Amino acid sequence: MSELITIDEKINYIKDDFGGFISGLKFFINEKNIELIKAKNSFQKQHSVLNGKIERLKINLLHAGAIKDKCVEKLIDFIPTVNIDKLTQVESFHSGITKILTSKIKEEIKLLDFQVNDVDQSLVNIDEQIKAYAGKLNKPKELIDEVLSLTIRKKDIERIINFT
């Protein structure tokens, strides 16, 4: 009989405290979600900056290359006294530097791609955390399970008492 009274007290306590619990849980979850949303915004900005850098580097790769012979011919037509040998030497030097810079740009793009992947993973993790906190608010499972198990135990004790 004392167990029945204890169970009733626990059930009533949970029912009475449930409103306060939900209010406190909402406050906690809202505070946590605000932090997560701020972090998400920061990662989204970082993602945008990294993608912008990658796009600029890819554009630089597209425009890297030697001067075409057609351009040299047009230059000769425009300036007949141009020193072709000197122009060829300068272009050879530029080609060497272009090869070096092209490889460095490709390395930088790979590094930035890794950083973008890390940021993407962080965004996925934050989204999962936000969903998890929202789930806690919508389904206070632990309390419901506790009330359910106490109610079942109460019914069992009442059956035993009524049977005897």
Domain assignment present for 77: no
CA 67 vs CA 93, 95, 102, 158: distances in Å = 12, 9, 16, 95
**What mean pLDDT comes out for the span 105-116?**
97
Kindly report, residue by residue over 53-84, the tens digit of the pLDDT. Answer: 999 999 988 887 666 667 777 877 888 887 88
Domain assignment present for 71: no
Q: Is the pLDDT of residue 134 over 60?
A: yes
- Which pLDDT value is given to residue 154? 80
CATH of the domain at 38: 1.10.287.1490
CA 57 vs CA 53, 62, 105, 117: distances in Å = 6, 9, 6, 17
- Which pLDDT value is given to residue 72? 73
Number of domains in the chain: 1
| Residue 6 structure tokens | 């204890």
Spatial CB neighbours of 53, under 8 Å, sequence gap ≥ 6: 112
68 — alpha (psi -120 to 50), left (phi > 0) or beta?
beta
pTM of the model: 0.58
Q: Which domain holds residue 25?
A: 2-65+98-163
